[in-house]
Chains A and B, each alone.
Chain A
Amino acid sequence: MDLTKLRLERRGRFWGKEVMPYLGYVIQSGVAVLLLFLLIAFSAWYTSLVQHIPEGLPIRWIMLILFVPLTVNSSFRTYLQPADTVFLLPQESKMSQYFNASWISGVIYKLLGIALVFLISWPLYVRSDTHPKAFWFFLIVLVALKLLASYGCWKELRMVSRRTSMAYRLLRYVILALSIAAWLWQPAGRSMIFILLLAVTYFVALRIPAKHLVAWERLIAQEKTHSGRVLMMLGWFVNVPGRQQRIYSRKWLSWAGNRIPWKPEAAYRYLLMKSFVRSDIFGIVLRAGILGALLVWWTRSGMLGSGIYLFFVFLAGVQLSSLLRYHSESFWLHVYPIPPGSRRTNAIGLAFQIQLLLAVLIWLPLLGTGAGRLGTAFMTLAAGVILCLLFRFFAGRKKTADDDDDE
């Protein structure tokens, strides 16, 4: 069996048959145009920032916050399927042929991404830092750290013990954060020695835990998560049927939805709330909310704060629009006596309420501007509420495939 060819075929099938057919809709969708507009707006703002850099800009912290996640986060598309535990298991000893391409593509695209962000951030860095590092030297350090993190992540995936794997994940975060911090704050020579020592120690430490030859179940679960994320992103623009997402148990949120009225009309809302709090979307919306609130706090004294606020309310709306497509193919929703029309009403209502809550929470930092700008702050809140209402209005008008079953 040609395992390299098999992976290539699977990759072609995923991108060619599952993703490509939707790209046309993505380009046509209004959201794509708006994102393009936001990109242009960001470019204009960034150019102006680079030309008029504020005094005392914490550029080292900005570079640290920018590059730690970019170097640490590693993932690999294996395109493995559940049936592989039966049909590919006999090939286990030769699976390195299959995974080589996964490793290479998993690293190369991310390196390109890092290089792009580095190129964009370079003008700001080189003009703000009192002792900037050399361009190529900085880029090589980032590439080397990315390779180290990817290697570590790949080894973690093969570890027998889940707990050990989690501990090593934490270790990867610490080592990468320390390395980048040392590189930013310390002289080049000293920081290089520190990074090398850390890397060697990490490299040796990775050899200690027991590992599977191929961690089938974990790799299959990871693949499901990654393909689910790609389809989820497509779902922001167009209705993608049959996509699966990773589920997080989040026991601390198990109370959510329990107070929803006990009646058939609200039964779907109960299901939706439970699905939401254990979904990827919840994590994304939560992270976006925290980041949005921090940025709004940081820029609260100018109009930029209002712009960033509205952008994050918009972003939350785009993410929450996925709720409308949840369970569109659910078997039980055809069998259970759920009142016709209640699915759509519940989904729109829940997405609106969550977006509105977020709009209020992200707005709170604007109150820190003091009494002088309270008027602007309340106008911004009003704009945020109108944006939420617009999302609700368009969601109500949009006809989706599940309406046919629902009404």
Chain B
Amino acid sequence: MNGNTVLDIQGLSGGYSLNRPVLHDISFQVKPGEMVGLIGLNGAGKSTTMKHILGLMNPQKGEIRVQGKKREEDSETYHSSLAFVPESPLLYEEMTVREHLEFTARAYNVARGDYEERADRLARIFRMQDKMDSLSTHLSKGMRQKVMIMCAFVARPSLYIIDEPFLGLDPLGIRSLLDFMVELKEGGSSILLSSHILSTIENYCDRFIVLHQGNVIAQGSLQSIAAQAGTTGAGLEDMFYTLVQGRD
């Protein structure tokens, strides 16, 4: 394993059933300050890969290291090093927006002063100042998604796992999120991002991993993907289409 790697996945096979693995021997890395796009069709294995990284599923083969540590070795350090934004917001109905942020900050051992400063800033960036004391049940879907994003960002771990973050966000919310991700990346944080909106992420991600039917069929920078797809001067959407076409 490379010592300068935040996320290191080697030979990962896994899924819900031993007989029918969803992921087949996948390997990739995410380095500090890198934003990596995980792209694939529905059912390609993106969410399953993320669940394995989060420790919600156990690998059948291979290993996953975050900041050099496997989950079995030190679960607390492993989980402290990553934050997750799910595709669908998962909030506690009995807590307000502010309380969600506070609970996250407490769990990640963020200093109170840092939490207050970050919470105020995030509320401003995502235009949630007047909703901070609302219960999550009283929020719209887009606002609930913003809370998920704010919770991840208040924790400030070294790795962010972000699954389809743009769903339900308004255009200003998408722009705020992208700007904030760039800021985090420049600050040295790493992001593994899954999205179907390829035209948006192609300008933001440093590298891409193309998953298809549980296999990594291409990975690298935009130029490298273009070379692997045999397309030049095309956008990520066209490269992706070329790569997956005819593979079913």
Q: Which residues of A contact B (CB under 8 A)?
A: 247, 249, 254, 262-264, 266-267, 270-271, 274-275, 278-279, 327, 330-332, 334-340
Interchain nearest-CB distance for A146 vs B (Å):
32
Known: A264-B106, A274-B99. A335 touches B84 (CB 8 A): yes
Known: A247-B135, A270-B102, A270-B103. A335 touches B79 (CB 8 A): yes
Chain A residues in 8 Å Cβ range of B107: 264, 267, 336-338
Is B137 an interface position by the 8 A CB rule?
yes
Is B56 an interface position by the 8 A CB rule?
yes
Chain A residues in 8 Å Cβ range of B78: 337
Interchain nearest-CB distance for B91 vs A (Å):
9
- Which of chain B's residues 192-248 have a Cβ closer than 8 Å to chain A? none
Known: A337-B76, A337-B79. A267 touches B94 (CB 8 A): no
A279 touches B94 (CB 8 A): yes
B90 touches A275 (CB 8 A): no
Interchain nearest-CB distance for B172 vs A (Å):
27
- CB closest residue in chain B, given A246: B93
Chain B residues in 8 Å Cβ range of A274: 92, 94-95, 99, 103
A247 touches B93 (CB 8 A): yes
- CB closest residue in chain A, given B77: A337
- CB closest residue in chain A, given B95: A274
B137 touches A336 (CB 8 A): no
Is B54 an interface position by the 8 A CB rule?
yes
B92 touches A275 (CB 8 A): yes
- CB closest residue in chain A, given B138: A249
Output the residue of B77, B86, B103 with the most chain A CB within 10 A. Answer: B103
B103 touches A267 (CB 8 A): yes
Chain A residues in 8 Å Cβ range of B112: 262
- Residue from the list B76, B102, B135 in contact with A339, Cβ < 8 A: B76
Known: A249-B135, A337-B79. A332 touches B99 (CB 8 A): no
One digit per residue, 1 when the CB lies within 8 angstroms of any chain A CB and 0 when it does not, for chain B 96-121 equals: 10010011101111001000000000
What are some 16 contacts across the A-B interface (CB < 8 A)? Answer: A247-B94, A247-B135, A254-B96, A262-B112, A266-B106, A267-B106, A271-B95, A274-B99, A275-B92, A330-B92, A335-B54, A335-B79, A337-B75, A337-B76, A337-B78, A337-B107
Interchain nearest-CB distance for A6 vs B (Å):
27
Is B60 an interface position by the 8 A CB rule?
no
Q: Tell me the complex Cα distance, A37–B79, Å.
A: 48
Is B55 an interface position by the 8 A CB rule?
yes
- CB closest residue in chain A, given B135: A249
- CB closest residue in chain B, given A268: B107
Is B80 an interface position by the 8 A CB rule?
yes
B92 touches A271 (CB 8 A): yes
One digit per residue, 1 when the CB lies within 8 angstroms of any chain A CB and 0 when it does not, for chain B 110-142 equals: 001000000000000000000001010100000
- Apart from A327-B92, A332-B92, 10 more pairs, CB < 8 Å: A262-B112, A264-B108, A267-B106, A274-B92, A274-B95, A274-B103, A331-B86, A336-B79, A337-B109, A338-B107
A-B contact count (CB 8 A): 68
- Residue from the list B77, B99, B104 in contact with A336, Cβ < 8 A: B104
Interchain nearest-CB distance for A255 vs B (Å):
11
Q: Tell me the complex Cα distance, A335–B108, Å.
A: 11
Q: Which residues of B contact A (CB under 8 A)?
A: 54-56, 75-80, 84, 86, 90, 92-96, 99, 102-104, 106-109, 112, 133, 135, 137
Chain A residues in 8 Å Cβ range of B54: 334-335
Q: Tell me the complex Cα distance, A339–B112, Å.
A: 19
Interchain nearest-CB distance for B76 vs A (Å):
5
A337 touches B80 (CB 8 A): yes
- Residue from the list B76, B92, B96, B103 in contact with A340, Cβ < 8 A: B76
Interchain nearest-CB distance for B132 vs A (Å):
11
Chain A residues in 8 Å Cβ range of B104: 336
Interchain nearest-CB distance for A74 vs B (Å):
25
- Residue from the list A263, A278, A330, A340 in contact with B106, Cβ < 8 A: A263
Chain A residues in 8 Å Cβ range of B77: 337
Interchain nearest-CB distance for B48 vs A (Å):
16
Known: A249-B135, A336-B79, A337-B79. A278 touches B94 (CB 8 A): yes
Q: Tell me the complex Cα distance, A334–B79, Å.
A: 9
Q: Tell me the complex Cα distance, A262–B106, Å.
A: 6
Q: Tell me the complex Cα distance, A13–B86, Å.
A: 32
- CB closest residue in chain B, given A327: B92
A254 touches B106 (CB 8 A): no
Chain A residues in 8 Å Cβ range of B99: 274
Q: Tell me the complex Cα distance, A215–B153, Å.
A: 39
Q: Which are the 4 A-B pairs with shortest beta-carbon distances? A: A337-B79, A267-B106, A337-B80, A267-B107
B109 touches A264 (CB 8 A): yes
Q: Tell me the complex Cα distance, A129–B137, Å.
A: 50
Chain A residues in 8 Å Cβ range of B133: 254
Q: Tell me the complex Cα distance, A254–B133, Å.
A: 9
Interchain nearest-CB distance for A258 vs B (Å):
8
Interchain nearest-CB distance for A236 vs B (Å):
20
- CB closest residue in chain B, given A271: B103
Q: Tell me the complex Cα distance, A275–B133, Å.
A: 15
Q: Tell me the complex Cα distance, A327–B75, Å.
A: 20
Interchain nearest-CB distance for B55 vs A (Å):
7
Chain B residues in 8 Å Cβ range of A270: 102-103, 106
B108 touches A336 (CB 8 A): yes
- CB closest residue in chain B, given A340: B75
Output the residue of A331, A334, A335 with the most chain B CB within 10 A. Answer: A335
B106 touches A275 (CB 8 A): no
Interchain nearest-CB distance for B245 vs A (Å):
35
A334 touches B106 (CB 8 A): no
- CB closest residue in chain A, given B55: A334
Q: Tell me the complex Cα distance, A385–B77, Å.
A: 39
Interchain nearest-CB distance for A246 vs B (Å):
9
Chain B residues in 8 Å Cβ range of A336: 79, 104, 107-108
Q: Tell me the complex Cα distance, A384–B108, Å.
A: 38
- CB closest residue in chain A, given B109: A264
Q: Tell me the complex Cα distance, A332–B155, Å.
A: 13
